[in-house]
Amino acid sequence: MQYLLNSLYLNLWAPLLKIPRYFSLAGSFYLKGMKALDRISLICKEEYTEQPAYTLGPYFQKWIMAQLPSDSVTVLKHLKKEAFSISALNVGNKIYFSITLFTEEASKLIGAILLDSSCQEIILDMDQERHFIIKSKKIQYLTTMVLKNIYYQSDALFPLFILHFRSPTVFDRHGEYVFFPDTQALFQNLMEQYSFILDRTEQIDGKLLKEICEYTEITTYCVSFTSYLVNNVPIPGFIGEVRINCQGNQVLRNYIAMLLLFAEYTGVGIFTDLGMGAVSLEF
């Protein structure tokens, strides 16, 4: 376990977040600590539809791209990996259209436009054009201060984590779709995202991943299989919830919690930039 402690210490300043930090656009303030990720939510009144809000994800992404100047779209397309993840989710009687921005470039290009007072409506180019009036906007920041609080927390975490997959999720394993909750697929994907987004490297610690899989397992799951339409092409996926049990020590549980909390911002699996893989966490 000393190996794990050393690995975590080296990554100590990589920011991850548990508790949502909401700031109104009027009179917003920053937590002390480096800001790493921005999540902007455009909150609209829900309209009646037979389909869940997550089906709007690809159209929301298309709308975002349409708001940007052509040269900005070119910059985003030339980034090595996705610069953001999005989600469109039902929350009570509202729809949260959210985007998490992974890079400084994305924050500058997209954040400024979405937070501008002139951005008051989302118009989705579907078979039948749909309009959503933006009632309010919220922004959440992911900071190193929060990471320190999570990492150094002395209260023992309960070993059970409940992860809700709120939009269809699928993993990529050697070019093939994995559309079933799998411990290795889940944590490998999160470690890869964590390393690339926060450390700008595509390398992950294989020994650490092996240790996570050794002490962590999905004990129960309640999922259903569905498909997610992208350009009229169905992508297989699953939604529902899983219960993850970690029998490792306090350090390992803290690390697992950080990865899963990170997932609330980035999403999990592939095609998160199109609205797949949105999750929320209980523990």
**Span 272-277, mean pLDDT?**
96
Looking at residue 18, its amino acid is K
The model's pLDDT over 109-151, given as tens digits with 9 standing for 90+, comes to: 899 999 999 999 999 998 889 999 999 999 998 776 776 677 6
Mean pLDDT of the chain: 83
% of residues, the chain, pLDDT over 90: 54
How much is the pLDDT for 198?
77
Mean pLDDT over residues 255-266, rounded? 89
Cα distance between residue 67 and residue 61, in whole Å: 10
Torsion angles phi and psi, residue 242, rounded to 5: -130, 155
How far is it, in rounded angstroms, from Cα 60 to Cα 54?
10
pLDDT digits (tens, 9 = 90+) for 58-84: 999 999 999 998 888 877 776 656 789
Give the global pTM: 0.84
Q: Which tokens belong to 222?
A: 């309640």
CA atoms within 13 A on the CB side of 91: 12
| pLDDT bucket at 162, cuts 50 / 70 / 90 | very high
State whether residue 243 is helix, strand or coil: strand
- pLDDT value, residue 270: 94
